[in-house]
Structure 1
Amino acid sequence: MASRRITYLGQSLEIAYIKHKPNAASTSNIVFLHGWGSHKELMLQAFGGSFADYTHYYIDLPGFGASSYGELESTFDTSAVRGQMDSSLSRKAESPKVQKVDSSMPDTQAVRILDTNDYAHIVLAFLRALRVRADIIVGHSFGGKVAVLCAAIEKVDSRNEAMDCHATATQCLAMTEKNAVSEKVDSRGNAENVEKTQNEKVEVVFDKTPQNTGAKNVFNKQATSGRIFDEKVGLCSGEQGDKTWVSIDAASHKLPAFSQKANAKTNNEDSSIGDIILLSSAGIIYPKPLKVRVKIACAKIAKALHLRLPFLRANDAKTLNPTMYEIFKRVVDEDFSPIFAACRHNVSIFWGRDDKATPLESGQQIHALIPSSRLFALEGDHYFFINQTARIESMYHTKAWHIRVFGKVQGVGYRKFAKAKADELGLQGSAQNLLDGSVEIFACGDESVAARFLQALWVGPSRAQVQEVQSQPCALKQEWLDRSAFEILT
């Protein structure tokens, strides 16, 4: 285990991490962010044997694992808070919270009560200090919120402009003015200004009192328009509307560039955050059950009476120190709907079908909100990924294509030929004859393998006469991945 000390808003933080390099020749990086109450070792245990072509960075977020926060050694420069409350920033959010670490020790300095925005800035400062680009950033639960917000803040920082998100009555993003951020690392990775975040940062503010009546149905109608969601397989199965076909040149056999959704626009090549993988991410707010609401009401009454009743705390908060408990209360009800909607990175969303902490419906809504996303539902609960990382890696790298083959391709054994070649190359999917005389093929797998498959389709069986092959990227169907082999449909 290693650690790196960074300075954030005048506070010195020791961030513990593990660097794991399965392949000495790897040049890309993958960063893992654990969930609330977890630690880097859990993520290492799960993913240490996967994504072998990447250098792994497992981070303990402040207050978890070996990255302490809110303990006696923590210090905080309160002048940094006053400096941050610059009148040039138009905010509707509450002022940053600070509290004493231990009221019995009057000389102990106050510590900042962090929110997810702070955690994202800390992760970005840490990565810049190490001069690491996160080609993939993986976030579980709370770590998923941090990962998406890292991408949003990093885009603001890199372009030096405010994020243009339009707030609704229940979902608010506080906008920052241009030049609000001084922390910059140039394209060569020079990090001499990494610690210039003492007085300035981009702040995203969340409405923590979302409406609970009526909003859910309205959201579903708006967010899922134009998409077909197959609840049986838990995966978005396609897009409605016009299709753009690409005719493949017989000489080049090149597949069109992959895009996760037809109209998604991403530009992450120059960003320090690449693709995002979400594992049962938090960020979608639902009305709390009656039992939880009663516990919250009792806790508020007990607090007013200066009574300490630890049994009223949520399970995620029972072992927290006072500072982390205040942070927990601050982050637990953040509504990330506008953050998800503003995300322009490629996002692969994985979820446990039996997840009770963050139900599958949350994943469906996140998928509906993020333009360039895809959703995979796997067996398991909130920690479904622990024994399924190899499958997650395979699904992450899997891409799908819709292929049409024209010419003399029916009644000549073309579908059997396509199946044999797909089975040989390890592709999943299906082939069927269409009424117009063409053969329709859906294929999913690694892009380089799919290119070889396309070359074979141009040749076809000996009795076939292939005149044209059209191909376009399409949404994955999980039913293809669940099949043991390529299928011929009748």
Structure 2
Amino acid sequence: MAVKTVQYKQHTFSISYEILNPSAHYDIIFLHGWGSHKNLMKHAFGQYLHQFRHIYIDMPGFGNSTCNMTLTTEDYANILESFISQIDASKAIILGHSFGGKVATLLNPELLVLVGSAGILVPKPFKIRAKIFLFKLLKFTGLTSLRRFFIAPDAQGLSEPMYETFKQVVNEDFTEKFRSFKGKALLCFGAQDTATPLWTAHTIAELIHDSRVVEFEGDHYFFLEQGSTVAKEIENTVLKNLEHKGQ
């Protein structure tokens, strides 16, 4: 594990990262989802894609990386842009899971690998909508001491800056961001995923002209058990892209 510091908006961020296969010719950057860390991505993909230099990053506020200010998804992309430049890495291939998929999209790689990516708004179940309504009602009546019972699981235990960040990024509609992406995209989604359902992959594919959807059995974390298959899809996509460039 290594650490680099990034200065952004008069704040200092310590970014924890790890590199595997340091002498490999091609770079691939891995971005985890909300509430996760680089080791989860390394566990899924570390033993595959040997022809690539793997760059695993703890995004600000997660794992061993620091964050002491409220961030937007654009802020995350800007911080990582600076970090990637510092370590002299290529942005040609970036894989992002869930929230990491939105950050990866903003980094504008040549090949965008979206694994159960967030960004398409999914209607909330009735129970969640009722919970939100009840919390707003309690807030109106001044009973904010009960707030802890209404916080989403992804927001529990967060510092104040990270909780405010969560509120900024959780319901973002990335429709136009996906539409404006001009690179190639590989969309790997789980058929039983309820956080980012399979239909959202096809919605993204309609927005990104040069894209392909690959369906996997499993939920939002299907890649933990099927990392080798996802890796093969990446290899095939990269190989086809190189062949196309060579023509």
Q: Give TM-score, length-normalised by structure 2.
A: 0.92
Equivalent residue, structure 2, for 1:384: 222
Equivalent residue, structure 1, for 2:7: 7
Which amino acid is the alignment partner of residue 293 of structure 1? R
Equivalent residue, structure 2, for 1:63: 61
Which amino acid is the alignment partner of residue 147 of structure 2? L
Separation (CA, whole Å) in 2 of partners of 1:302 and 1:32: 41
Structure 1 residue corresponding to 2:91, chosen from 102, 113, 134 = 134
Separation (CA, whole Å) in 2 of partners of 1:351 and 1:367: 12
Matched, 1:121 2:78: yes
2:122·2:196 contact (CA, 8 Å) conserved in 1? Answer: no
2:45·2:231 contact (CA, 8 Å) conserved in 1? Answer: no
Residue aligned with 1:301, SS:
helix
RMSD, matched Cα: 1.9
Note the alpha carbon deviations across 1:78-110, whole angstroms, 9 max, x for none: xxxxxxxxxxxxxxxxxxxxxxxxxxxxxxxxx
Structure 2 residue corresponding to 1:374, chosen from 191, 199, 212 = 212
Separation (CA, whole Å) in 2 of partners of 1:287 and 1:354: 16
Equivalent residue, structure 1, for 2:20: 20
Q: How many residues align?
A: 240
The 1:129/1:303 distance shift into structure 2, 3 A limit, reads: farther
* Matching of residues 135-284 of structure 1 within 5 Å: 135-151=92-108, 273-284=109-120
Which amino acid is the alignment partner of residue 46 of structure 2? G
Which amino acid is the alignment partner of residue 297 of structure 1? F
* Matching of residues 441-480 of structure 1 within 5 Å: none
Deviation of the 1:446 alpha carbon: 6.1
Deviation of the 1:398 alpha carbon: 2.8
Separation (CA, whole Å) in 2 of partners of 1:30 and 1:398: 14
Separation (CA, whole Å) in 2 of partners of 1:289 and 1:133: 40
Which amino acid is the alignment partner of residue 29 of structure 2? V
Matched, 1:40 2:38: yes
Structure 2 residue corresponding to 1:285, chosen from 105, 121, 131 = 121
Separation (CA, whole Å) in 2 of partners of 1:329 and 1:384: 26
Single out whichever of 384-393 and 134-143 deviates more from structure 2. Answer: 384-393
The 1:69/1:25 distance shift into structure 2, 3 A limit, reads: closer
Deviation of the 1:326 alpha carbon: 1.2
Separation (CA, whole Å) in 1 of partners of 2:146 and 2:239: 56
The 1:19/1:25 distance shift into structure 2, 3 A limit, reads: closer
Separation (CA, whole Å) in 1 of partners of 2:77 and 2:42: 20
Separation (CA, whole Å) in 1 of partners of 2:122 and 2:224: 26
Which amino acid is the alignment partner of residue 134 of structure 1? K
**Structure with the bigger percentage of helix:** 2
Deviation of the 1:28 alpha carbon: 1.4
Separation (CA, whole Å) in 1 of partners of 2:107 and 2:215: 24
Separation (CA, whole Å) in 2 of partners of 1:342 and 1:280: 19
Note the alpha carbon deviations across 1:389-416, whole angstroms, 9 max, x for none: 21112122336xxxxxxxxxxxxxxxxx
Separation (CA, whole Å) in 2 of partners of 1:342 and 1:322: 33
Equivalent residue, structure 2, for 1:352: 190
Q: Say which one has the larger Rg.
A: 1
Separation (CA, whole Å) in 2 of partners of 1:353 and 1:361: 9
Separation (CA, whole Å) in 1 of partners of 2:223 and 2:32: 12
Q: What stretches of structure 1 of length at least 5 have no aligned partner?
A: 71-110, 152-272, 400-444, 451-490
Residue aligned with 2:16, SS:
strand
Matched, 1:297 2:133: yes
2:14·2:65 contact (CA, 8 Å) conserved in 1? Answer: yes
Deviation of the 1:141 alpha carbon: 0.2
Residue aligned with 1:335, SS:
coil
Structure 1 residue corresponding to 2:48, chosen from 22, 47, 50 = 50
Matched, 1:322 2:160: yes
Residue aligned with 1:57, SS:
strand
The 1:25/1:68 distance shift into structure 2, 3 A limit, reads: closer
**Post-superposition, which runs of at least 4 consecutive aligned residues in structure 1 deviate over 4 A?**
none
Separation (CA, whole Å) in 1 of partners of 2:235 and 2:196: 25
Deviation of the 1:25 alpha carbon: 4.1
Separation (CA, whole Å) in 2 of partners of 1:50 and 1:274: 21
Q: Give TM-score, length-normalised by structure 1.
A: 0.47
Which amino acid is the alignment partner of residue 62 of structure 1? P
Deviation of the 1:291 alpha carbon: 1.1
Separation (CA, whole Å) in 2 of partners of 1:3 and 1:144: 23
* Matching of residues 71-110 of structure 1 within 5 Å: none
Residue aligned with 2:104, SS:
helix
Percent identity, aligned pairs only, is 41
Residue aligned with 2:93, SS:
strand
Note the alpha carbon deviations across 1:334-384, whole angstroms, 9 max, x for none: 000001011101110000000011110111101111001000001110001
Q: What stretches of structure 2 of length at least 5 have no aligned partner?
A: none
